[in-house]
Every structure is written in C-alpha cells, then in structure tokens.
C-alpha cells in the first residue's frame, strides 16, 4: 500500500481552510434554504434573516452598526470599491508602497484617469511614519488608504495615529484589514477609519465573500449598477452561503479572542521563528522589531532562491510561499520587501510562513525539522554559496 504523505499547511495568508463549524452553518443554504434574499415569500425571508444575522456578527467583530456593513465578493472588491468610490479625477490619494496590489493597482489605474497618488515609503521594519502621511496632505487630498496588517510580513501599521491625522484634515481614511481580521481585535472607532475591508477566505470562511465597513454618512459611489442590494452600495444577488459562512467565522473569531487563541497562535509562531533562527545561520525575520499579527513569520535565508525552497518544501509536504511574483517569466522580488530596503537577492530568498487556527504544535515541530534540512541542502548544491563559504 502506498503511504500518503503528511501535508502541513503554513500558507494561511494565501487562504485558510473553511472551519468545520463554518461549513456546517453554510450547508443548508446550498440546499433547502436556497431562497433569494430579496424575495418577499417564505424562502426569501428565511435567507434574508440569515444574511442579517451574519451582518450582525460581522458588525460585532468590527465594532460598528449593522447598517454600516456592506457584503462584497472579497478583499479585492472592497478595496476597489473604496478607491474608485471615494476618489476620482482631480483628487489626491495618499497610500503606502507596501499595500496589496488590490489597493496599489486600483490607485495606479485612477492615476491614469487624472487622480494624483502619493505612495509613501516605509522604514526597514515596514512601518509607515504617520508624520509622512501628515506631510503628504494636499488641499485636494480626498482619501488616505493605509493597510492594517501586511500580507507578507504581518507588520501592523499605526492605523489609529493615521486615523487621527485623517480626522483632523477631514479626509476619508480606509484601511485594508484583510490580513488583520480574526488575528487581532478590530474596533473601527478606535482606528478612526471611515472604510475598512475584510475578506472571508483569510479568516476561515469561504473564498468569494467579504465585507466592507462604511461609516454612516460616507458617500460611496458604487462599482456595480443594478438592483438596490446592500442599500444601493453593492448591486447583485447576495452570496447567501458565503455571507452565512463569513458571519459564523466572525463569531468564531470573537470567541477565539475571548479564549486567548491569538496568544496561543503567537506562541506557536514564535516557536517556529526562534526554532528556525536557532538552527539556520544567515537568516532573519522581515519586519523584526515592528508590531505584527500573531500568525505571520516572513524569514529570509541568504544564499537560497525562495522559489526553489517553496518547491523543495512542497515535495516534503510543507506548504509555504514567497512574496515574489512571476511576471513575464522573470521572478520579480516582492514590492513589499524591496520597499523595506531589502536587497534583491535577500527579498528573493524570503519565505512566508503563515499559521491558521487548524495548525498544531506538532506540525510546527515537523516544520522545524524540514526547514533547516531543506535550507542546508539548497545551500549545499548552490555554486554561489559554496564560493562564498570557501572565500570567507
């Protein structure tokens, strides 16, 4: 009999598995509870009630009113809706150079249509300086968009400070909280944001659903035109099973904070990080010294190619990722790590380990065997590494 390889998934910032409780909550909405939430008959009323219960759960997770939640198809839609819906030709946007492409490319697109955009730098830890945000303000600044947590490093930006600056200047403030939701508590009032985006599949709900907090009174131009769904802010028949899943995942996230699961996750992440650094030399943590979400460890291993490491680990059953994007056949170093000042080779030698609620201590211990042996093997067969090692 062929033995199945044990697989360990440490790529939860790419996507998370749907939790069994979430799947269970969704199940009947693929079957007997199939109604269109806009229908006025029994079937519609049933699904409408489920959508509104989920809205309540998501609003509790973010600390806002029910009516301030707009369901979307995910983080990309939320980010695009905010950027295109709040700014346009003649306006000015302030954002950072380490945002997700959902924000960066939406801003670049607006730039082509006559909107001005300032892409702020970050320091070596990946942090935006709020004073840079203040200095970048112009009379026509309409929107500030600074992410809450970075997807590659987990670094948490000083969003509450940015929120104060935005409020003083009377400028809209958006934060992309896709990688923060369910990992750290979120309170939109404490952050002082007008809009905040989250995505289901980064928090153990399914892919293809998300939510946007839109502060009451914020005039958001819709992206889609059609029916009057979501108070005319997002036309289109609701993805009821997905929304139900997102609501359940929000409830589980809140219960997780009450039970201190975030602290346990950060202990597990630290165990992984310290264990790797204790066994592997010429390695370090990207974003070291900055506050970070509890699940993410971005680590560079000098003298290796990140892509080779991802493939080698995958062959051993461990799923991780690089921040690098493959464009036109060449591997581009991650824009996030480059903005933090990492050399190209070090950025390309970076691996992202990201934990989810399903990961166990035992899995981390297996990773602590696989990672050092794989780095050693890759360095051994690297002609560049050998030359460096011999000449020093």
Furthest-apart CA atoms within the chain: distance in Å? 78
Closest CA relative to residue 85, chosen from 206, 208, 222, 178 = 222
Between residues 176 and 273, which has the closer beta carbon with respect to ligand PLP? 176
* CB distance 349 to 302 below 8 Å: yes
Per CB under 6 A, the list member of 57, 179, 182, 334 interacting with ligand PLP is 179
Q: Parallel, antiparallel, or unpaired for β 141-145 and 172-176?
A: parallel
Q: Known catalytic residue: 326? A: yes
Binding part of the chain for ligand PLP, among 107-115, 175-183, 310-318, 319-327 by CB under 6 A, reads 175-183
Q: What is the DSSP letter of 28?
A: G
What is the SS3 assignment for 95?
Answer: strand
Query: Measuring CA to CA, which residue among 172, 171, 157 is closest to residue 127?
Result: 157
Closest distance between ligand PLP and the C-beta of residue 267, in Å?
A: 23
Would you count residue 323 as binding ligand PLP (CB under 6 A)? no
Reported residue count of the chain is 392
Q: What is the Cα–Cα distance from 282 to 314, expressed in whole angstroms?
A: 22
Of residues 197-226, those binding ligand PLP (CB under 6 A)? 199, 201, 210
54-62, 74-82, 104-112, 246-254 -> range binding ligand PLP (CB under 6 A): 74-82
Binding residue (CB under 6 A) for ligand PLP from 35, 74, 241, 306: 74
As measured in angstroms, the least distance from the Cβ of 195 to ligand PLP is 13
Among 118, 145, 151, 157, binds ligand PLP (CB under 6 A): 151
Looking at 26-34, 73-81, 229-237, 278-286, which segment touches ligand PLP (CB under 6 A)? 73-81
Instruction: Work out how close the CB of 375 gets to ligand PLP at its nearest, in angstroms, rounded to a whole number.
Output: 26
Residue appearing with tokens 């303000």: 137
Q: What is d(CA 122, CA 60) in angstroms, rounded to the nearest whole number? A: 32
230 φψ region: left (φ > 0), alpha (ψ -120 to 50), beta (else): left
Q: Is 102 in the site for ligand PLP (CB under 6 A)?
A: yes
- Of 57 and 145, nearer to ligand PLP (C-beta) is 145
Stretch touching ligand PLP by CB under 6 A, among 71-79, 138-146, 188-196, 384-392: 71-79
Whose structure tokens read 């059953």?
A: 317
Residue that is written with structure tokens 């009999």 in the block? 1
Nearest partner of 176 among 75, 290, 264, judged by Cα: 75
- Residue whose Cβ sits closest to ligand PLP: 75
* 75 binds ligand PLP, rule: CB under 6 A: yes
Question: Which residues are the active-site residues?
Answer: 326
State the residues that interact with ligand PLP by CB under 6 A.
Answer: 74-76, 79, 100, 102, 147, 151, 176, 178-179, 199, 201, 210
């Amino acid at each position: 009999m062929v033995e199945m390889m044990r697989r360990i998934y440490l790529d939860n910032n790419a996507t998370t598995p749907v939790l069994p409780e979430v799947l269970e909550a969704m199940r009947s909405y693929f079957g007997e509870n199939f109604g269109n939430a806009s229908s006025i008959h029994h079937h519609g009323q049933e699904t409408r009630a489920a959508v509104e219960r989920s809205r309540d759960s998501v609003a509790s997770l973010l600390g806002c009113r029910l009516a301030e939640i707009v369901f979307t198809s995910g983080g990309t839609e939320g980010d695009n809706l905010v950027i295109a819906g709040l700014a346009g030709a003649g306006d000015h946007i302030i954002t950072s150079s380490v945002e997700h492409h959902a924000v960066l490319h939406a801003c670049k697109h607006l730039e082509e249509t006559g909107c001005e955009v300032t892409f702020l730098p970050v320091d070596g830890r990946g942090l935006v300086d709020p004073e840079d945000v203040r200095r970048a303000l112009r009379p026509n600044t309409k929107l500030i968009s600074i992410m809450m947590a970075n997807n590659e490093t987990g670094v948490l930006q000083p969003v509450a400070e940015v929120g104060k600056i935005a409020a003083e200047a009377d400028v809209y403030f958006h934060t992309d909280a896709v990688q923060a939701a369910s990992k750290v508590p979120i309170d939109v009032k404490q952050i002082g944001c007008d809009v905040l985006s989250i995505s289901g599949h980064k928090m153990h709900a399914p892919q293809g659903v998300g939510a946007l907090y839109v502060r009451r009174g914020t005039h958001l131009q819709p992206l889609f035109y059609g029916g009057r769904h979501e108070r005319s802010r997002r036309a289109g028949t609701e993805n009821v099973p997905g929304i139900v899943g997102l609501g359940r995942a929000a409830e589980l996230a809140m219960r997780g904070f009450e039970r201190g699961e975030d602290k346990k996750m950060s202990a597990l992440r630290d165990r992984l990080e310290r264990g790797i650094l204790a066994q592997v030399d010429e390695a370090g943590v990207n974003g070291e010294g900055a506050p970070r979400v509890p699940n993410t460890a971005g680590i560079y291993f000098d003298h290796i190619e990140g892509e080779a490491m991802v493939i080698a680990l995958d062959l051993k059953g461990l799923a991780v990722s690089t921040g690098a994007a493959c464009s036109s056949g060449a591997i581009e170093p991650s824009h996030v790590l480059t903005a933090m000042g990492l050399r190209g080779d070090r950025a390309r030698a970076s691996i992202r380990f990201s934990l989810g609620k399903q990961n166990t201590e035992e899995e981390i211990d297996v990773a602590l065997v696989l990672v050092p042996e794989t780095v050693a093997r890759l360095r051994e067969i690297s002609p560049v590494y050998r030359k460096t090692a011999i000449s020093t």
